[in-house]
Amino acid sequence: MSRECCGDDRPTTATQVDACCGGQESADGHASCGHEGHEESVPWWRDRELLLPMASGMFWVAGLVLDWTGSGSLALIGYALGLLAGAWTFAPGAFRRLFTSRGRSRLGVGLLMTIAAIGAVLLGHVGEAAALAFLFSIAEALEDRAMDRAREGLRSLLSLIPETARVSRPDGEDVIPAAEVRQDDVLVVGAGERVATDGVVVRGRSWLDTSAITGESIPVEAGPGSPVLAGSVNGAGTLRITATSDGRDNSLTQIVRLVEQAHAAKGERARLADRIARPLVPLVLIASVLVMAFGVMTGDPALWTERALVVLVAASPCALAIAVPVTVICAIGSASRFGVVIKSGAAFEQLGTIRAIAFDKTGTLTRNRPRVVAVHTVAEFSRDEVLATAAALEASSAHPLAGAITAAAPDRAVADEVVEHPGQGITGRVGGRSVRLGSPRWIGPASLGEQAQGMASEGMSVVVIEINGHAAGVIGVRDELRPEAAETIAALRRQAIHSVMLTGDNAVTAQTIASEAGIDQVYAEQLPADKARHVQRLASETPTAMIGDGINDAPALASASVGIAMGVTGSAAAVESADVAFTGTDLRLIPAALAHARRGRRIMTSNIGLALAIIVVLFPLALSGVLGLAAVVLVHEVAEVVVIGNGLRAAATVRWPGMKGSASSDGVPRQSHTVEVTE
């Protein structure tokens, strides 16, 4: 675990954030995140923060067993050990914050649990105190471990930076560690190699796979003057790139810092239990002190001191401590059964408040599998002939669009003399005819110019095919919208949830996809930092979720009130940066998950209300001496049973369109489109 790096007892500074992600000082003083500095997560059986709550539970259970068998003295020892093991995880931190923190931040549910445990021990109820310590410590430990795993996932971002880079020197090329690249160095990047840092192309032409940074599957043409981002993959040909940033301070390391900073900001937000505890703690303490002071003034300190302790137990949040964890555990467990993995109780609490959702486009709203959607030909060529001829050439190409064209024409001829022209297209001979295939900038569409323009306006990537020197056809390739996307957006609108789309794609394509999905607000050509800024702005106005699947989405996912990752197709960084992950890709999980969380939050709120009502009722009765310790403890036990029973209702699942139907051969449930998602 990473308590030393990102502890809960003090605010996280920017410097500490960088340290958490393995930050180092670069030559110009910039803190950056390198490959070093990340500790592997220890197994659960070696994790002290998890072992102590587990030990607390085992000692408590042992105490119960010994108590039932009549071994009172041994039971007391078991209870005491369970109390010490559980309290050690939160009591020292609660006292530390009490004396070192400022303002109301020093008060929290940890301090309230500590006070309740002390009061129970003073009145001889060590078993009650041990149970309280175990329940609270195990809930906190599980959530902390989930957050630590999230921080570890950031290492996958940095794996996109190559270990070495080729740099052009006056006396030839030199291979150096990527971290030693400096601004104005000229990088030599061959076909299939990753770019070590941000830069600008000064020589060569090619196409770049920028999906790791922008999330877009359609490649970007690169030539002299084209900007290049760190982590981009050079498709074909050799590029010479002038570095515009150092190897340790580029777009990818900035993504890491953005994610870490967002996680740190989230960690400072008070949970619901803490917001309740902050005013409750001083009230309980003041009341107990006043009761003891009254006893001293009236000349009967023993009676009133005992009564003060009874008041302390009466005001102890036993039911409150159980109210939230039971509901959260039940709700999270049931959500996992229909494909929604919620990583923490805090995430569940936030999920039930969402009023806006920001969608990534590629891989989220769309399938991230470009396919041929339109073909126009001149009179002398048929559609099938044009596709088969184009596919014959593309079968030899590694270009991302080649797969879409070859998939559209499985029955194709064999091409000869194939030559790929980086950044332009491909040439060859098919059936004895000379064929060229490439972008409209390289091959003029001639009489098909109007059709090509229309395809481009609909968000397609246009490929022109030329046969024997004449334009024969134009092929439109596009990443298609998921079939359930429009249904999902409509369901969210009925739930009064506003939808926004954020994408690195061009404005025309983005607007086309958004219109088909029913999304009105679109932000196109967004880099990761841009997405994070938009999400931060939205989250400052209303509780906002972000849903995405790529590394480029990680800062936005971490910046949102709740980050949601498409778990099956999503990158490791996106999944680990998010608070919620989907095990499937059906977008209808979103309104279902939100409805489920809102229902769980209502149950949790009712539990909290009941727990507080009991405290309000017991407090004056204990203060006046109407109820003694035994009666107060009995009421608390009954309240705990009622709260647990109510919390179990959160295990009921909200039905969604994919929950009906049989499983397919690969074990994935077949989708049904007949069930409406409602709250």
Tokens of 294: 């009254």
Long-range contacts of 636-641 (CB under 8 A, 24+ apart): 636/313, 636/316, 636/318, 636/319, 639/318, 639/319, 639/610, 639/611, 639/614, 640/318, 640/319, 640/322
Residue with tokens 């999230």: 150
Dihedral (C-alpha) 393, 394, 398, 403: value to the nearest 10 degrees? -170
Tokens of 412: 């194709």
Q: Is 173 exposed, middle or buried (0-12, 13-18, 19+ CB in 10 A)?
A: exposed
Q: Name the residue type at position 85.
A: A
Tokens of 48: 């002290």
Which one, of 301, 319, 321, 315, lies nearest residue 622 by Cα? 315
CA distances from 93 to 110, 584, 617 (A): 8, 39, 31
Which one, of 122, 116, 117, lies nearest residue 85 by Cα? 117
From CA 449, how far away is CA 430, in angstroms rounded?
A: 24
| Beta pairing class for 562-566 and 544-548 | parallel
Tokens of 592: 């279902």
Question: Is 246 among the catalytic positions?
Answer: no
Tokens of 295: 């006893």
Residues 6+ apart with CB under 8 A from 314: 615, 618, 619, 621, 622, 627, 632
b/e burial code for range 111-150 (CB count within 10 A of at least 16 → b): bbbbbbbbbbbebebbbbbbbbbbbbbbbbbbbbbbbbeb
Please identify which of the residues 148, 249, 360, 549 carries the catalytic annotation: 360
Please state the length of the chain.
679
From CA 515, how far away is CA 526, in angstroms rounded?
A: 18
From CA 275, how far away is CA 112, in angstroms rounded?
A: 12
CB 523 within 8 A of CB 545: no
Using alpha carbons only, give the angle 103, 104, 110 rounded to the nearest 5 degrees: 130
Catalytic residues: 360
